[in-house]
Structure 1
């Protein structure tokens, strides 16, 4: 879609303030509407609170043809927005909707690791490999030559480490951090040039500890200026991603290069830990897309998933069918 092309459909995205939920929405929306209207929310709609201010956007903006949402707090806002539109938009959720909303979305795209945890036999529910995101193989290919010229010095192969941060299921305890540092030093000693990029969730203590590794063989982004994340992906011959980030794992797979998952200490055994472990088992054991990091970065081949494109194509097809019906009826 070129900048001069008028999109067939105008998209609004409704997501939680978490970067991961917005990334999923924009990853799909950009293939339908290059300039979607973005709404982020912190809490559910409640009539005890002041009116939901983005609803006022309906009076001043082109109303949505499609609403793409992600995150549990986005449900109530999405359904209310759809109800208040003069012409009903297609509603799409990028996860398993909460039980109270399962019948209120036209389409839902559910990650395989969530799909395996329950029955999803509704015709408007679709399984997805991992999660959608905004990194595309074509972009990585276009960036690779320049990124390699900058980072692949002295003919060293490049290993990119994407580090997240502790969450409710994974810990960055002293032992885990020691293993991470040891792995980086070992790769550098084996001839790799290691590029390290932290995320928004990375604690400052982890950033500082990793930064202390920097030398001519190890490059650590200092969190100042433009994030080199995309160039680090494009330059890589192999990647390591800490297990706390599902999104970064899926983004790394857009490179087509080997992606290794770095294990972390476990917090409390709960459903969230089971979900993450189910995701990693599916990506490695079932699909052969990733492998567990055990010290080496041996090459292997796979076809990068194109889930953002695939989801967008399904959404646009259903939206076209609905428009053809002319009655706001969804053909699934």
Structure 2
């Protein structure tokens, strides 16, 4: 399945929180249905403000969506508001387990396996998915690989790409963790790997500073200046290490088809967020065999890259077609 043409049959709106990960999930799915979806990001749940209503009514007067794809808890109320303002109710799709008050108000919801519960098996509009959707395609990486290898893998060197996030409600980047991460990167370079390091907006300043002082020619670190080389780093990789704080980066790394190793981080005191992340990593490594825990080696192994954004988009498109046939549109 390829992205839709520039004259899509269906028009999509995305509604997400301002977090990059929630928008990425929405766009990862929407682009296969509508290459130019209308994007709405929200910072808080909807409250009954006339300016907000007027804004949505103005947008809907131009063109109404056939589907709304949402992600993030704060997007739920906005999605239901927009759907209620439309002349013909759009297909509503959520990319996560909706809060209980909204679960049965959506037409479709796609719930990560680590959040799946037996009760959800009884609801046909809910579907389990591997990890989360995103915007990285195996085909795109394959097209980029030759140029990326020419740039980063001089003399045929093996390339390790390290994707680094930052502290969250589950994991800490304490001194011991930062020391271990820096030594891992240095150790790979000593074993003749070229190491490409991509940090995120969440990465601690002290980590960025430590990395900038490594000063080794075999270690390439994006300084967060200029164009983000993230996709080229993925395309060039022979193996990848991803810090455990990011579900999205783990899933993006799996689009490469190369070995993906999870890097352990210091745990915060036991809490629901930590349990959720640990369930995700156990499912990806122990149940599905997609990732492995990093223990010093980047040995090769095989797997088939999940393409959940495409699969979700196909289900949504089938729902739109069925709905149109039922209404005679």
TM-score (norm 2): 0.96
Structure 1 Cα separation of the partners of residues 279 and 163 of structure 2: 20
Structure 2 Cα separation of the partners of residues 213 and 320 of structure 1: 55
More off after superposition, 311-320 vs 195-204? 195-204
Aligned to 2:266: 265
Taking a change above 3 Å as real, the CA distance of residues 117 and 151 of structure 1, as seen in their structure-2 partners, is farther
More off after superposition, 258-267 vs 112-121? 112-121
**Structure 1 unaligned spans of 5+:** none
Aligned to 2:188: 187
Q: 3-state SS of the aligned residue for 1:255? A: coil
Taking a change above 3 Å as real, the CA distance of residues 181 and 117 of structure 1, as seen in their structure-2 partners, is farther
**Structure 2 unaligned spans of 5+:** none
Aligned to 1:157: 158
More off after superposition, 39-48 vs 160-169? 39-48
Taking a change above 3 Å as real, the CA distance of residues 20 and 4 of structure 1, as seen in their structure-2 partners, is closer
* Counterpart mapping for 1:105-124 below 5 A: 105-116=106-117, 119-124=120-125
Alignment length, in residue pairs? Answer: 328
Assess if the C-alpha contact under 8 Å between 2:4 and 2:32 holds in 1.
Answer: no
Aligned to 2:81: 80
Cα deviation digits, residues 79-115 of structure 1 (max 9, x gap): 0100100111000000001000011100000000001
Q: 3-state SS of the aligned residue for 2:82? A: helix
Aligned-pair RMSD on alpha carbons? 1.7
Structure 1 Cα separation of the partners of residues 308 and 133 of structure 2: 6
More off after superposition, 114-123 vs 143-152? 114-123
TM-score (norm 1): 0.95
Once the two structures are TM-superposed, the CA of residue 55 in structure 1 deviates from its matched residue by 1.0
Assess if the C-alpha contact under 8 Å between 2:263 and 2:294 holds in 1.
Answer: yes
Structure 1 Cα separation of the partners of residues 69 and 44 of structure 2: 17
Q: 3-state SS of the aligned residue for 1:51? A: helix
Structure 1 Cα separation of the partners of residues 43 and 174 of structure 2: 30
Taking a change above 3 Å as real, the CA distance of residues 52 and 40 of structure 1, as seen in their structure-2 partners, is farther
Taking a change above 3 Å as real, the CA distance of residues 79 and 238 of structure 1, as seen in their structure-2 partners, is same
Once the two structures are TM-superposed, the CA of residue 5 in structure 1 deviates from its matched residue by 4.2
Cα deviation digits, residues 305-331 of structure 1 (max 9, x gap): 010000000000011001100089xxx
Once the two structures are TM-superposed, the CA of residue 116 in structure 1 deviates from its matched residue by 4.5
Taking a change above 3 Å as real, the CA distance of residues 142 and 95 of structure 1, as seen in their structure-2 partners, is same
Assess if the C-alpha contact under 8 Å between 1:260 and 1:297 holds in 2.
Answer: yes
Aligned to 2:8: 7
Structure 2 Cα separation of the partners of residues 74 and 112 of structure 1: 21
* Counterpart mapping for 1:236-315 below 5 A: 236-315=237-316
More off after superposition, 100-109 vs 4-13? 4-13
Structure 1 Cα separation of the partners of residues 269 and 50 of structure 2: 34
Once the two structures are TM-superposed, the CA of residue 138 in structure 1 deviates from its matched residue by 0.4
Structure 2 Cα separation of the partners of residues 117 and 204 of structure 1: 42
Assess if the C-alpha contact under 8 Å between 1:45 and 1:52 holds in 2.
Answer: no
Cα deviation digits, residues 195-214 of structure 1 (max 9, x gap): 00001211222212112123
